[in-house]
Amino acid sequence: MVLTYFEGQIVAVENTSLLSKIQLQYSIPDSAVTLLADGEFLCPGLVDCHIHAPQYVNLGLGLDKALLEWLDTYTFPLEEKYKDIDFATKVYNAVVNKTLNYGTTTACYFSTIHLESSLKLASIVKELGQRALVGKVNMNQNSPESLTETTTASVQDTESFIKSVLDLQSDLVQPIVTPRFAISCDMDLMKQLGALAEKYKTAIQLHLDTLATSRPLATKENAIRSNTAYLNAEVSLELPSCAICNMFSQTLLAHGIYLEDSELKILVSKGATIAHCPNSNTSLKSGECDVPRLLAAGISVGLGTDVSGGYSPSIIEAMRSALAVSTHLNFKEGGTPLTYHEVFHLATIGGAKALSLDNRIGNFVVGKEFDALIVNMNSFQKIPDELSNYTNEELLQKFIFTGDDRNIRRVYVAGNVVKDATLA
C-alpha cells in the first residue's frame, strides 16, 4: 500500500506498484518518501475516549479499594491540588507526552473544576500537537467542599472555558461539556450545562452506570423511582426543557456497565455513545461491560483508559483488557467474545465514531486527516529474519497482545510528526 497525504489530509491510497506514478503525479521527491522496514506496519492513530488527565499522578494507587472509597481516599484529594497552576502544568505536560508516546493521537480528557488549570491542559494539548476534546469538570453537590462549585460559578466558568478553548483557534482541540455524574450535579446544573452545549454546539461527556450501587444514590438525590428514570436523571434524556435532549447525538457516556434493554433502546434512539473502560472496570471492581451486547443494540463504542481508575495510559493495554473481559463474560454467559480485529476497531474508527470524529479520522480513507502510527515489531524482539515472513495482520495481532510504546516508531497527527523514536 502507498498512502499519500498533503497538508495533513490523505489524498491517495494506492497499490505499492504505483509508487513511482504517485511521486510523479504529486511531485514527491524521494526524500519525502517513508519506506517501512521488515516487521513494520502503518496503522490509524489510537483514540482514548475517556481519560482523567489530573489523575495521572495516581496511576496504580488505591486499586485495592472500591470506586467510591478510591475517589475519597485518592482522587478527590489529588484533584484539589489543581488550583495550583504550576503543579497542573507539570502533570498535564507529562500526561499528554505519555499518551502521545503510546500512540494516542486523539484523547477525550476530563480535567478538574478549576478553570485556569483546565485551560492550561487545553493549551498544552495544542502545543504538543495532540487531537483532543477537553472538559472542565462540573460538580455542585455530594462532593468534598473544596471541589463543590455553586451552580452559578460552575456555569459561568464552563462558558468561559468553552470560549477560551474556541479562541485557541485550533482544528485539533475542542471543548466538551463535562458534568461528572448525576450524583455530583443537580438537575438545575444539568439543564444549564445542556443549554451551553446547545449554544456552542459542543459535545457532552459524563459517567453512566459505573457501579450498580450508584443507581440507588442517584435515584435518591434526584427524587426519581425507576431505572429508566435514573437514566433520564443521568443524561436528562426526556426533559423537554433541557438542551441535552437536542444535542444528545454528541453525548459520550463512560462505562455503561449495567444498562437494561429498555435503556439501550433509549440510547440508540438518541444516538448516544459509550466509552468502554475495561481496565478501570476491573481494577475498581465495578463490573464487566458486555460490549458485544452494546454493539448488537446499535450503540457506537470506543475504548477508554480511564486513568487512573485504569492503571495504564495505553490504549494498547485497553485493547488487551477488553479482550480479557469479553472472554470472561463468555465463560460465564456464553455468546461470542470480542476478537482482536474488533478491539482494534474500537481503538480506532470505533473511538472516532464515539467522539463524532469519524468523518475526519479513524481509518485511511481519502479525504480524512492523517493520524497514524508506524509500528515496529522488531524494536526489542530482535528476530528480523522471522518477522520478514509475517503478514501485516499477524504483526497487528502481535502488537495488540505484546506491544507497548517501544514498538511505536513514529506518531502523526494531522500529518505532523509528534513522536519520532528514530531521532531519540
- Nearest-10 crossing angle of helices 392-402, 315-333: 90
pLDDT value at 134 more than 70: yes
In this structure, what C-alpha cell is assigned to residue 331?
Answer: 465463560
CATH number at residue 372: 2.30.40.10
Q: Does 16 fall in a domain?
A: yes
Residue showing cell 492513530: 45
Residue located via cell numbers 485497553: 318
Mean pLDDT of 264-285: 94
**Per mean pLDDT, which of 30-44, 99-113, 332-346, 369-383 is the most reliable?**
99-113
pLDDT at 60 over 90: yes
Q: Are residue 211 and residue 274 in the same domain, yes or no?
A: yes
Residues 91 and 140 in one domain: yes
395 within a domain of the structure (yes/no):
yes
Residues 29 and 171 in one domain: no
Q: What's the pTM?
A: 0.93
- The string of DSSP codes covering 144-161 is -GGGPPPHHHHHHHHHHH
Q: Span 221-244, mean pLDDT?
A: 40
Other CB atoms within a 10 A radius of the CB of residue 161 amount to: 25
Residue 187 and residue 245 share a domain: yes
The pLDDT of residue 379 is 67
pLDDT in tens, 295-334: 999 999 999 999 999 999 999 999 999 999 999 999 998 8
Of 95-104, 208-217, 336-345, minimum mean pLDDT range: 208-217
- 407 and 326 inside one domain: no
Domain-located, residue 360: no
Q: Which range among 45-59, 198-212, 255-269 shows the weakest confidence by mean pLDDT? A: 198-212
Least reliable range by pLDDT among 13-27, 166-180, 351-365: 13-27
Q: Is 63 helix (H, G, I), strand (E, B) or coil?
A: coil
Whole-angstrom CA distances from 349 to 15, 208, 355, 391, 405 are: 22, 22, 10, 22, 20
Among the listed residues 236, 220, 222, 134, the one whose alpha carbon sits nearest the alpha carbon of residue 175: 134
Secondary structure class of 423 (helix, strand, coil): helix
Specify the number of domains making up the chain: 2
Residue type, 388: S
Is residue 132 located within the same domain as residue 216?
Answer: yes
Domain match, 288 and 163 both: yes
Residues 288 and 153 in one domain: yes
- pLDDT band, residue 74 (cuts 50/70/90): very high
Residue 189: count of CB within 10 angstroms of its CB:
22
What residues make up the domain containing 378?
2-43+365-423
285 lies in the same domain as 321: yes
| pLDDT, position 212 | 58
pLDDT of residue 224 exceeding 60, the answer is no
Is residue 88 situated within a structural domain? yes
- With a cut of 90, say whether residue 217 has pLDDT above it: no
The answer to whether residue 359 sits within a structural domain is no
